[in-house]
Amino acid sequence: MTELNPLDRIQELCDERNWSYYQLAKVSGIAYSTLSTMINKHDMPSLPTLQKLCSGFGISITDFFDPGNSSKGLTSDQAQCLKLFTALSPEDKTLAITYMKGLSKTL
């Protein structure tokens, strides 16, 4: 098992979403200066900060530390949808859910 560096994982998740640290700070509800200092000084995030970051990314802490966890047991189509959905902004997630509900006509 390889050791996961939380700062590298934060960068990876930002890259997947094409987000800047400013965007991450905004959706996470943490000060940009806090995030910038953490990244630039290589300070590990506290648990409350990590929880806010995960919330901003729309993932659980488990998904943060075990990236492959969220797609276990899913078909390839489901895993692809989940990956695409996770990369959306909160506003786009709302639109995607609304669109899928309209397509399914079951809810």
Predicted confidence (pLDDT) per residue in 49-107, tens digit: 999 999 998 888 888 888 766 556 667 787 788 778 877 888 888 898 898 888 887 65
Dihedral through CA 21, CA 24, CA 26, CA 27, nearest 10? 170
* Rounded CA separation 92/90 (Å): 5
Contact of 83 with 75, CB cutoff 8 Å: no
pLDDT value at residue 66: 80
Quickly state the pLDDT bin for 6 (edges 50, 70, 90): very high
Q: What is the DSSP string of 55-78?
A: HHHT--HHHHH-TTGGGTT--HHH
Phi, psi of 19 (to 5 degrees): -100, 150
Query: pLDDT tens, 8-44?
Result: 999 999 998 899 999 999 999 999 999 999 999 999 9
pLDDT recorded at residue 107: 54
Contact between 24 and 53 (Cβ < 8 Å): yes
Confidence bin at 1 (pLDDT 50/70/90): very low
What pLDDT, on a 0 to 100 scale, did the predictor assign at position 8?
Answer: 93
pLDDT at 76: 78
Sequence-ordered list of residues with C-beta below 8 angstroms from that of 70, at least 6 positions apart, any chain? 59, 60, 63, 82, 86
